Amino acid sequence: MKPNTQPDLPCLCASLRRASRSLTQLYEEALRPVGLRSSQFTILQFLSLAGEVSQGEMGNMLAMDSTTLTRTLAIMSRHGWIARRAGEDRRVTRIRLSSGGKAVFARAVPYWEDVQARVKKKLGAGQWDGLMSASNDVTRMVANITINRQD
């Protein structure tokens, strides 16, 4: 096998996880000057789009397990990037971007845009669009299987 040549894997899960790890390394390298991990950027980006949400809603929409999300949010809270308030139901905490979170997100966006553009250029617009569509389709399909447990 040639260096940097990856064998095709027969398992969709293994293939997507490997692709995800590769992309995560690339995005984390790009975001390093801002001091963000890719998971933190994803949460900042999500909150910038969604506004205020509960942790449960965020976990569902990002397909993140509760333990990982709780740990990541605790770090982000210590940095002052998110703000929390009690919901109408006191058992639910509502989360939103703080002013510090908005500022670090704004600093990170150009780095994210650069890595997005580099990956899109390497893949080509057609393959990029296909992968974006396929990844969203897989997420919806898995969520539907998990909810219905019939397929």
133-148 pLDDT, tens digit each: 999 999 888 888 866 6
Whether the Cβ atoms of residue 36 and residue 115 lie closer than 8 Å to each other: no
Give the model's pLDDT for residue 71. Answer: 96
Instruction: Look up residue 57 and give its two tokens.
Output: 């809603």
SS3 90: coil
| Higher local confidence (pLDDT), 144 or 26 | 26
Beta bridge partners of 86: 93
> Bridge partners of 97?
82
Question: 124: helix, coil or strand?
Answer: coil
CATH of span 25-148: 1.10.10.10
- At 93 the pLDDT is 87
Residue of 57, 33, 40 lying closest to 110 (CA atoms): 33
Question: Among 61-70, 85-94, 106-115, where is mean pLDDT lowest?
Answer: 85-94
Q: What is the pTM of this model?
A: 0.88
Q: Rounded CA gap, 66 and 17, in Å? A: 19
pLDDT of 150 strictly over 80: no
